[in-house]
Structure 1
Amino acid sequence: MAQKNGFEQEKNVDLSRKKLKALPENILGDTSVVQLDLDRNKLKTLVGIEKLRNLRCLILSKNEFSVFPQEISLLQNLEKLYLNQNKLQVIPEGIFNQLHHLKLLKLSLNRLQDLPGDLGQCSKLQYINVSHNLLKEIPVSFLELRNLEELYLEDNKLQKLPPKLFENKALQKFSAARNPLSEPPDEICAGGLKQIRSYFSQISTSEADYIKRVKTMFLGCSMAGKSTLCRSLKQQQAVAVELKDRTIGIEITETQVKDFRFHFWDFAGQEEYYLTHHVFITPQALVILVINLASYQIEEPDSFKKDVAFWINNILMRVPDSVVLPVGTHVDKCSSLEVMMAKKEDIEKRIQQMMKKMKENIQLRMENFSEKNDAELFFDQSNKLNSLMDCDLQVLDLVLIDCTNIKEIKRLQNRILEIVQNKEIFPSIEKKLPYLYKMVESTITDLLIRKEIPEHGIVPLGELLDKINENGGFKKLIEDDLKDILRYLHRIGIIMWYEEISTLAKTIFVKPSFLITLFKLIVRHDLVEQLEKIPKAVLVRERALEKDVHKWIRQYRSNAILDHKAVSALVKHLLQQVSSDGEDDILEEITGNRGQKGKLFNLLEHFEICLAMKPHTSLNPNATVFHPGRRWDYMDCHSNGAYLFPSNLRNAISMGIWKNDKEDDIRVLVYFLPEVPQGFFARLIIRTCSLFSPHWVGFQTCLVVSNSVELLIKEKHEEDQFMEIRCRRPRVTDLRFTWDLILAIIFKLKKLSEQWPGLYYSIRSPCRTKNCHEDFPWPDQDGLSDYMDMAEGEVSTCSEGHRNETELLFPKAERCRRRRTKEAWSPNVYNINATGNISIGTNNTIDVKDQNFDS
């Protein structure tokens, strides 16, 4: 507390999580209160708040306000107002014109469609957050706020941003992600404030183009007819695709239909490729879900689950605002018209039932939270469920098609045109772009046609800039402008540029098809066959023999390990087939050398598809090749190591170290809705293994050890899909350290889950009494300090009356409770930073940095 005028103390009062329905009288009579925290209560009104005439900060987040409390207008000294995560729909005029000192306003996660005009009279406002609302236009009042420094507008219904907003030089931070924007396109807004200002500057000084571009993704099981459909639509004729020509990985093509440019992304349907789908599936695309109607069986529930439900769930979790057009193929192979129509009716009915059941499950979980006595502790989880209820996933009516009939191909094309022209389905299909963007894209295309760019399309940024300036025929382009345009072209899939990877920041993949071909080298269903096809001449150059190939195949089949020499040989063989330009130089650039990792594996590791196994003599000089069931450490298969692909493991790890589960193990269960995303667990394993050197990896299992504490992670597919984190019951002195390990995995899981915005997960600790199926849900956690302070009381009793030691159910902080600030705990074994990464600390203690996950 600070002294006011030398004699009166200013008070910061914390009444959060007190289940308050009205303001306490004893607080209302205290004029020395300058900050009042009422977070997570049950307030609907603020009767009497005007008595706190010196109040400067008022926190009302996560309450039950549906009507804006007008008493706030009387708090004329107010500087900070938090009303996020309530149920506000309207804010009346006459409130903000009284708040002349207001600097911060947080209204995110409400139901606001507009803001009052008098907000513009808050001349000192520096920060506004109205994310996750229903705004369709930028309020005019925002344009009057000349001191506004930060503005957050994510997840609204905005289609245009006014140029005048960005003339405000005070504005330093801005985000409008996940809006259906056309001016500027959302792909440009994702580049940040600087790129938005550059966009409007170019629009104001030159011509602009209106482009209708549609990313169209073909998904579905193997042999459903995706490639046939994709190629037939592109070529405007019935195209038969032989079995040997089926898609490997992803194929990209482009076609023009009327004034629409379609980018077709044909995703292979074999399970081996699912792990890479998340890399390329993006929002605001048309998803064509291809279903083999001939093989679909009404009487087999697994048929719908495999052919339809799996794909819809994964689309929902990854891009919840997608538009999905189911297309039934192979109708010519159905036994009769009646059978075909019965299958169509069954699929559409099951889709409706599936979506309805999902909503019912969400509603049930929300009701479970609301009925709890401590419902305010689960506000964030309830809010996440509420957002899933509002998800905009649209599954259209199933279209039946005979891909051998050109009339039906054209009928499908017309249906696709109807969909993309529908403003209610695609409100921002037409994007306004500066003329310079079109010119740079055209110049890159011309350079490829004239073969002034190598066939593999890998070009240094500086070299690409020089070539564009030499051939573009327009005013000299500066590097910053080129970067803005490349960011846009990357986000729409024309080129690939991974500037967030430091080793690739100066490299442009002008040909995404070649980059995807590199992915195909490794992530493919017939990798063993490809290894067998490596020519002897390539093996000689790699200093390898036929017996080495047999060894590589054995390693891959049994242990999902691929030797670095095998990768190098595969790349050499590929380059001989697709490129004649500087093969040796590009080979080293792609695969790397002893001193540097290659670009291919920078990408594979960035997308968490594999785990590098490097030489690490200080860890275990006698480390052997990994085998399921044996200890695996970083080792040196050859001078450049090898790579583990957890998603390809098919054998469970031997329980020789873990042996068997024990009744007194500490257990934490993480439940997923609607299901565990494909590839999620494999990526979590890769993140986990980057933390702990001693580990054992297997199919749906991972065991790590730290300071003799064993931690097992298992993925389970039962009626409810979940992951289990299990540790041996530690000694009292090791309890804190055990929970630290569990929390390290949970934070990795939490960060990973952000890539699936349509995914909900909840954490529970099961009752420790044998044969009891009750559990204890974990409340919301705003940061690590909340996680580490969950255990309250010595005993917790489940609904069946069983008593449990609380500290074995929830993490428990040390007795000297840390305040929720950026200060650290006393040092311990690991440092957990804001991204969930852990590094070795000192003195065998933990230094845990606070993380704020508040909305």
Structure 2
Amino acid sequence: MEVYGNLSVIATCPFMGVERSDYVLSCLGPNEQGKREKDYAERKLKTLPKSIWDNNKNVTKIDLQKNRLKHVHGISQLANLAELNLSRNEIVDFPQEIRDLHQLKTLYINQNNIKCIPLDVFPSLQNLQFLKLSTNRLVELPSDINQCQSLTYLNVSNNCLKDLQALVGLAKLQDLYVEKNRLTDLPEELFENLTMFKATGNPLRKPPEEVCVGGLKDIRSYFTMLRDSSSTIKSVKTMFLGSSMAGKSTLCRSFDKCHPVKVDEADRTVGIEIKEVEKRGVRFLCWDFAGQEEYYITHHVFITPQAFVILAIDLSSYDLTDESFKEHVSFWISNIQLRVPDSVVLPVGTHIDLCPDKMDIDQKKKDIDSKLQCMLTEREETLQQLNKKLQGSDDPSLYSDQMDELRRLRDYNLKVLDLLLVDCTKPEDIQMFQDHILREATNKENLPSIERTLPGIYQEVEGEIQDLLQNDEIPQHGRVTLSDLLNIHISQGDMNPENLKCILRYLHRIGVIVWYEDIPSLKEDVFVKPSVLISLFKAIIRHDLVKQIQDIPKQELCRRRILNKHRETWVTDYVEKATLHNMAISILVQKELKKLDLDDEDIVDEIVGKGSRPGSLMCLLQHFEVCLPAKIASQLNPEAPEFRPSRRWVHPNPDVYDPDSACMFPSYLKNNDTVLKMWGEDKLSDLNVHRYFSPEIPYGFFHRLIVKTCSFYPVHWVGKDQCCFRSGNTLTLVKTKTVNEDQCIEIRCKDQGQDEIQKSWQMVREIMNRMDELTQEWPGLVQYVHTPCKEHGCSAYFPWRDWKDWVCAGSGKNSSVQEEKMTCNNGHTRRTELIYPTGLFSSDCT
């Protein structure tokens, strides 16, 4: 809680963009507050009501959010107004009368359509402390805003700003939010007094976004080091994506070598391969992603925004059907659009040497280009139609959150270039491919952040780390402790440890090293060779895992005192239960390390785990929601007060490493039998919520949600696309579902009666909260939440308009609907508490 004068300010969850403003006049009694505060929120107002002027000299707070106001003529008459909320209206011109509200301390005017703010407004607002202008159409800030000398909080996110120079001079500014604008350079003077700063979603080059993500400490360190020396570099992360055997590795390796490089099927990519390629002053960090479906669950660990994507399309296996287009093209474009919607995609037609004739190639190229254009146009038209539908509703202000989401999606600029045909057997085609990539990557309209201004010490540290590695001062497996790295003499002199950490964070975010300082068990581990860490991933995340287990040599089993029978069990448990035994993981990882000449028992123990300590690999897999610890053994409990052979062993600490236990990979499950047996049948009396995802549920989203939620609810049953959780007597089901071709995740709770209803809603909220954490990684999503009507055969539903407020904050504004029951448009009536969390939502039925 922060205190501004006599106003107590409570701001909840700014990360989710919810930030309910509920300020209270804490020093006033209830009767006096009633005279001074006026609430006109959600009244469908187009003009200010006459009652707003009653007792106008005493009014200090007015809430006008979620209306249809385009102007607020006469607002200057409220001379003693301290707080004004005009958010979620239809204001285009910034109200100049606000300049006369000299007592104003808090102003919300976010989520409107303001394009310009006139001069001579903010200099007269000398008491203004809190200003929220996010989600408008601002291209620039007025040059005199820095005369608003009391301002401590400013949010201008989701606008079209290109610079922040006007803010220099705001001596008391502490919290600044500028996400999702068009900023490239940030002034150093801006960061002198800030305590909070967020700038993600900008094409930043000074400082780069990878520095800004590290927070104010890293930004200040960056500018300090920049004073000594600086350089402008061109660097771009280039991701090679596409279906299995589409020719990604051939393209990547040929691009590196500047001539055709043949890649045999046996040598195809397993997991991810990394190459650093220097071409004409441009540094390409090439990431070659394997195309088999088994690897998709780990791609989210490494894919980053503002990337240059090479999408390989095998023309020899492509036909002119919609199914072929979906498999080879649209699946990948959709997932890129969901995950990294501000990227540039270059589709490349490969294997054209295997196509029968040139006419066939030209026809396929024309078909792909045409369908790609239709796909992108259809998405844009869909967003426009959804927006028109909401604007044409009886009260658009009630749907302002959804309209803001639609606008945000339309502002993203996924650029898909024309299909390029490359015959990877011809040197001239490889040269043409290289020239084309250089031309497109250095086009600032495509990748505005390709140029970055860096302190000279950044490149020196990176170079010296590589020198230490080559000189065997760092182990060849590339794993070194942070403490050892800090103690190494760098750059011919002592370096501030915090500055070095800042540089390491930057190198981690661009993919040069790997350092997961936010994972407690890994914060001391720095992997200066990411390729080694990726090799460990692919030891157990691979398309031929069953064969890898079956091929474990007999002598290795004997050395570990393991029978062939045990190995058969490993295979059976993996195939039938998607469960991989920890001992099998240890053997497979050691086998992969041998290929890297790193056959060291201590390294295996550190990576896989030993005794009660989980290894770094297992920590990473669990942190990124790839797998879930699973108990498979049934042993005696030595702490039991008497001999009880039927009692299962339960370790007092569920996070410890157990060599005799296992990990479950939910994405590999093949059925829902276990879940269905526990849940039983769906009933109309169940509490039921649908969360829709448009255009689709991202690949891997559901299984990561399951891992995330199972970690919170230890009593669970997992299936292919369903999962059941128990908390006390409350049983909850989560599953994917398609309704009229719309994809949703359904949450159901068994009806436990009046006393348990709030606990059921709490479980719903916890699950939806975890969905929200995940959806931050897919900025290209549109989401809706509905409760279906409970009458058998009825297709009506009840939309939740403010569900984010409830999910994020755990509470929301009191409902304006007082009825104990709700009626759908087909006339079916149900208790309101079975449709919405009671007292939290205003609602109607569609």
TM-score above 0.5, yes or no: yes
1:82 equivalent among 97, 108, 114: 108
Measured in 1, the distance between the counterparts of 2:328 and 2:798 equals 36
Match of 1:828 in 2: none
1:412 equivalent among 433, 436, 442: 433
Q: Quote the offset at 1:666 in angstroms.
A: 2.8
Number of equivalent positions = 800
2:666 equivalent among 621, 646, 660: 646
Distance 1:585 1:792, change over 3 A: farther
**Aligned partner letter, 2:171:** R
Map 1:76-155; keep pairs closer than 5 Å.
Answer: 76-138=102-164, 140-155=165-180
Coordinate RMSD, CA, aligned: 2.6
Match of 1:160 in 2: 185
**Aligned partner letter, 1:648:** Y
Does the CA-based 8 Å contact 1:33-1:52 persist in structure 2?
yes
Q: Quote the offset at 1:440 in angstroms.
A: 0.6
1:427 equivalent among 448, 457, 474: 448
Measured in 1, the distance between the counterparts of 2:324 and 2:552 equals 38
**Aligned partner letter, 2:503:** I
Does the CA-based 8 Å contact 1:78-1:99 persist in structure 2?
yes
Measured in 1, the distance between the counterparts of 2:747 and 2:424 equals 48
Q: Quote the offset at 1:740 in angstroms.
A: 2.0
Match of 1:188 in 2: 211
Q: Which moved more, 1:304-313 or 1:366-375?
A: 366-375
Match of 1:851 in 2: none
Match of 1:664 in 2: 685
Q: Quote the offset at 1:488 in angstroms.
A: 0.5
Match of 1:306 in 2: 327
For the pair 1:610 / 2:627, whether they are aligned, the reply is: yes
Distance 1:34 1:635, change over 3 A: closer
Distance 1:333 1:135, change over 3 A: same
Measured in 2, the distance between the counterparts of 1:502 and 1:395 equals 40
Match of 2:574 in 1: 556
Measured in 2, the distance between the counterparts of 1:424 and 1:536 equals 58
Measured in 2, the distance between the counterparts of 1:751 and 1:7 equals 41
What is the SS of the residue equivalent to 1:702? strand
Distance 1:585 1:227, change over 3 A: same
Does the CA-based 8 Å contact 2:614-2:657 persist in structure 1?
no
Q: Quote the offset at 1:791 in angstroms.
A: 7.2
**Aligned partner letter, 2:756:** D
Q: Quote the offset at 1:66 in angstroms.
A: 0.6
Does the CA-based 8 Å contact 2:614-2:656 persist in structure 1?
no
Match of 2:792 in 1: 770
**Aligned partner letter, 2:190:** L
Q: Quote the offset at 1:546 in angstroms.
A: 2.2
Map 1:509-528; keep pairs closer than 5 Å.
Answer: 509-528=527-546
What is the SS of the residue equivalent to 1:715? strand
Structure 1's consecutive aligned runs of 4 or more residues displaced over 4 angstroms after TM superposition are: 1-10, 614-626, 633-640, 787-792
2:735 equivalent among 707, 714, 729: 714
Q: Quote the offset at 1:635 in angstroms.
A: 12
What is the SS of the residue equivalent to 1:128? strand
Q: Quote the offset at 1:638 in angstroms.
A: 6.1
What is the SS of the residue equivalent to 1:786? coil
2:247 equivalent among 206, 225, 230: 225
Measured in 2, the distance between the counterparts of 1:636 and 1:491 equals 29
Distance 1:190 1:4, change over 3 A: closer
Q: Quote the offset at 1:713 in angstroms.
A: 1.4
Measured in 2, the distance between the counterparts of 1:473 and 1:16 equals 60
Which consecutive unaligned segments of at least 5 residues does structure 2 have?
Answer: 1-24, 842-846
Measured in 1, the distance between the counterparts of 2:291 and 2:496 equals 42
Measured in 2, the distance between the counterparts of 1:183 and 1:422 equals 18
* 1:145-165 CA-partner distances (Å, limit 9, x unpaired): 111112111111111112222
Match of 2:45 in 1: 20
**Aligned partner letter, 1:192:** G
Q: Quote the offset at 1:3 in angstroms.
A: 6.6
Distance 1:257 1:47, change over 3 A: same
**Aligned partner letter, 1:23:** L
Match of 1:801 in 2: 827
2:549 equivalent among 531, 536, 549: 531
Measured in 2, the distance between the counterparts of 1:790 and 1:448 equals 65
Q: Quote the offset at 1:659 in angstroms.
A: 2.7
2:494 equivalent among 476, 494, 508: 476
Match of 1:37 in 2: 63
Q: Quote the offset at 1:61 in angstroms.
A: 0.9
2:603 equivalent among 571, 578, 586: 586
Measured in 2, the distance between the counterparts of 1:7 and 1:383 equals 37
1:202 equivalent among 210, 213, 225: 225
Does the CA-based 8 Å contact 1:624-1:635 persist in structure 2?
no
Measured in 2, the distance between the counterparts of 1:802 and 1:24 equals 36
**Aligned partner letter, 2:798:** F
**Aligned partner letter, 2:728:** N
Match of 1:284 in 2: 306
For the pair 1:691 / 2:708, whether they are aligned, the reply is: no
What is the SS of the residue equivalent to 1:40? coil
Measured in 1, the distance between the counterparts of 2:818 and 2:347 equals 51
Q: Quote the offset at 1:318 in angstroms.
A: 0.8
1:443 equivalent among 442, 450, 464: 464
Measured in 2, the distance between the counterparts of 1:694 and 1:333 equals 53
* 1:109-167 CA-partner distances (Å, limit 9, x unpaired): 111011111212111111111111111111x331121111121111111111122223x
Measured in 2, the distance between the counterparts of 1:399 and 1:790 equals 57
Match of 1:833 in 2: none
Distance 1:335 1:474, change over 3 A: same
Measured in 2, the distance between the counterparts of 1:591 and 1:481 equals 32
Q: Quote the offset at 1:624 in angstroms.
A: 7.7
For the pair 1:238 / 2:260, whether they are aligned, the reply is: yes
Measured in 1, the distance between the counterparts of 2:647 and 2:507 equals 45
Measured in 1, the distance between the counterparts of 2:720 and 2:649 equals 18
**Aligned partner letter, 2:170:** L
* 1:571-598 CA-partner distances (Å, limit 9, x unpaired): 22222331347x1221221111232111
**Aligned partner letter, 2:551:** K
Measured in 2, the distance between the counterparts of 1:580 and 1:775 equals 59
What is the SS of the residue equivalent to 1:117? coil
Q: Quote the offset at 1:513 in angstroms.
A: 0.3
Measured in 2, the distance between the counterparts of 1:15 and 1:245 equals 67
Distance 1:600 1:51, change over 3 A: same
Match of 1:392 in 2: 413
Q: Quote the offset at 1:193 in angstroms.
A: 1.1
Match of 1:823 in 2: none
Normalised to the residue count of structure 2, the TM-score between the two structures is 0.90
Measured in 2, the distance between the counterparts of 1:636 and 1:431 equals 43
Measured in 2, the distance between the counterparts of 1:671 and 1:479 equals 47
Measured in 2, the distance between the counterparts of 1:793 and 1:305 equals 47
Measured in 1, the distance between the counterparts of 2:329 and 2:700 equals 18
**Aligned partner letter, 1:45:** H
Does the CA-based 8 Å contact 1:535-1:573 persist in structure 2?
no
2:770 equivalent among 748, 759, 771: 748
Q: Quote the offset at 1:308 in angstroms.
A: 0.9
For the pair 1:464 / 2:485, whether they are aligned, the reply is: yes
Does the CA-based 8 Å contact 1:218-1:290 persist in structure 2?
yes
Does the CA-based 8 Å contact 1:29-1:52 persist in structure 2?
no
2:371 equivalent among 342, 350, 354: 350
Does the CA-based 8 Å contact 2:583-2:659 persist in structure 1?
no
Does the CA-based 8 Å contact 2:461-2:491 persist in structure 1?
no
Does the CA-based 8 Å contact 1:542-1:569 persist in structure 2?
no
Distance 1:637 1:479, change over 3 A: closer
2:755 equivalent among 733, 745, 752: 733
Distance 1:514 1:796, change over 3 A: same
What is the SS of the residue equivalent to 2:690? strand
What is the SS of the residue equivalent to 1:133? coil
Which consecutive unaligned segments of at least 5 residues does structure 1 have?
Answer: 627-632, 819-855
Measured in 2, the distance between the counterparts of 1:476 and 1:657 equals 62
Distance 1:657 1:11, change over 3 A: same
